[in-house]
Amino acid sequence: MLNKYIIVTGGAGFIGSHACKALQQAGFVPVTFDNLVTGWQDAVKFGPFERGDLLCRADIDRVFEKYTPVAVMHFAAFSQVGESMQKPGLYWQNNVMGSLNLIQAAVDHGCMDFVFSSTCATYGDQDNVVLDEHSEQHPINAYGASKQAVENILSDFGAAYGLNSVIFRYFNVAGADPDGMVGEFHQPETHLIPLILNAIDGKRDALTIFGTDYDTPDGTCIRDYVHVCDLVDAHVLGLKWLQSGHGSRVFNLGTGDGFSVRQVIDQAKHVTNRPVPVTHGARRPGDCTKLVSGSLRAKTELGWSADRSNLKQMITDAWRWHQNGGYIK
């Protein structure tokens, strides 16, 4: 039986590494393509590793020629909202130009199934609305705008060349591999749950809550959290959707339930049985008040379910990984 190679860009990162494990378990061979700017060599455990940069077409062509992949799963991107507001050119160059190089290479090499990691940030700030795939896209930061641009590129390449794509717009990703093989580890850390856990065990002085005057019950932002293992399961289902001959499709991934920053803090206190030192800061530019998903399409068409995506489970799995020390012991 021939190996079914899947190029996984950003496969050394948080979500990409979990996707590689899920792909291996599903019978594929994930080929991690990563420049290790934000990823970790130690996260590459489930298939070959190829170091390269999406801004270098020769790097991309080399990997396509070596493996003849049946599909691409594209996670690699800069993803910090605040940074994207301060350095928009960086995000347009890296996220858009890098993706365009990859998409063009896929078509040139006859690899016509493409799974793309997009974001709910393409919807912008639409408060008190459960966002579904038909919601209008009005990104309010360069990160969301760059992801929407890649979605448009995929649509254009589908019309022109027949490239089939599944686009996942997802919400806040949390948790870690329950087996402890991979997990969430960034330097610098920007995600809420690991920041809370760092504050709990003294790796930072305190957690800063950015904005306490939002129009929410407790004044802090509300987000829809999805467990990383549930998220990557959806990506494998999306790949199989394409491999089965279905056409291009957009899916939201979330639970439909939102939790405020303070609710996440309270649950972390409960799971760890430790206090969370907190300070308060001003709102960050580009942050929305409330982002909550409607994911009926993923459930009904892909058969996806978010079984681990409750706040207690996500924090429990993240805490187990956190206590293990991440990739730097």
Catalytically active residues, by annotation = 143
In the DSSP assignment, the letter for residue 301 is I
State CA 216 to chain mean position distance: 25
In DSSP terms, which residues pair with 9 in a beta bridge?
33, 74
* Residues 33 and 19: beta-carbon distance below 8 Å: no
What is the number of residues in the chain?
329
Cα angle 203, 77, 105; round to 5 = 150
Q: Which residue has the tokens 């190089």?
A: 101
d(CA 104, CA 160): 11
Which token pair is 123?
């919807």
Residue with tokens 């507001």: 85
Q: Do 139 and 145 touch, CB atoms closer than 8 A?
A: yes
Cβ burial, residue 215 (10 Å; 0-12/13-18/19+): exposed
Which secondary-structure segment (H or E) carries 258? none
CA distance readout (Å), 282 to 220, 265, 279, 287: 11, 18, 11, 11
